[in-house]
């Protein structure tokens, strides 16, 4: 196993770690399939808002995410969801009609409209977090506390690295890693 203290960032992995990297890649594929089934979202919807579908959760999460860094405008929500602004406007309007989101006036600029979560939207987010927490707790229930802490730290580091790579232009990622 490579020593992370002496590993050079961006260096090729040692031949000894190639099998471990293959295992990580294979595990990511299995995880993608499970996430693709959106088990957590399905449970949350069933418990709180059975009239919503999974795509609605994406909007709620986008509003939450954008709001962490400022005010959630329709444009910012569309960008976070990687959809065009006109589709974003329709999606937000639908969620306002459903009572999950509400339009408000920007505190920074009264001429600008922002989108906020309603109590129902907040309830949906809380349920998603509760279901996610329960799923993770079930999975790690027989793990030693040190393993949970170490996995949490390493998984966060891995996903942060994944986010960094995802922001790179495709040509910089092409051909790397085989």
Report the C-alpha gap between 132 and 43 in whole angstroms: 9
Q: Is domain 53-118 given the CATH code 1.10.287.130 in the classification?
A: no
Can you give the pTM of this predicted structure? 0.69
Report the C-alpha gap between 161 and 98 in whole angstroms: 37
Ranges of each domain in the chain: 53-118
HSE-up of 177 (CA within 13 Å, CB side)? 12
Report pLDDT digits (tens) over 75-97: 999 988 889 999 999 999 999 99
Residue scoring higher pLDDT (149 or 51): 149
Give me the phi and psi of 116, to 5 degrees please: -130, 155
């Amino acid at each position: 196993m490579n020593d992370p203290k002496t590993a050079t960032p961006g260096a090729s992995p040692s031949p000894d770690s190639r099998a471990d990297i293959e295992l990580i890649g294979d595990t990511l594929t299995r995880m993608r399939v499970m996430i693709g089934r959106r088990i957590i979202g399905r449970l949350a919807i069933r418990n709180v808002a059975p009239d919503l579908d999974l795509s609605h959760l994406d909007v709620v999460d986008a509003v939450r995410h954008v709001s962490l860094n400022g005010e959630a405008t329709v444009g910012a929500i569309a960008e976070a969801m990687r959809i065009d602004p006109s589709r974003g406007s329709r999606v937000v309007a639908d969620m306002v009609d459903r009572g999950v989101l509400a339009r408000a006036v920007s505190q920074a600029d009264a001429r600008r409209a922002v989108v906020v979560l309603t109590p129902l939207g907040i309830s949906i987010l809380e349920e998603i977090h509760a279901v996610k927490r329960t799923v993770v707790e079930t999975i790690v229930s027989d793990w030693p506390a040190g393993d949970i802490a170490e996995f949490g730290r390493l998984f966060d580091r891995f996903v942060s690295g994944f986010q960094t790579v995802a922001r790179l232009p495709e040509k910089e990622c092409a051909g790397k890693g085989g």
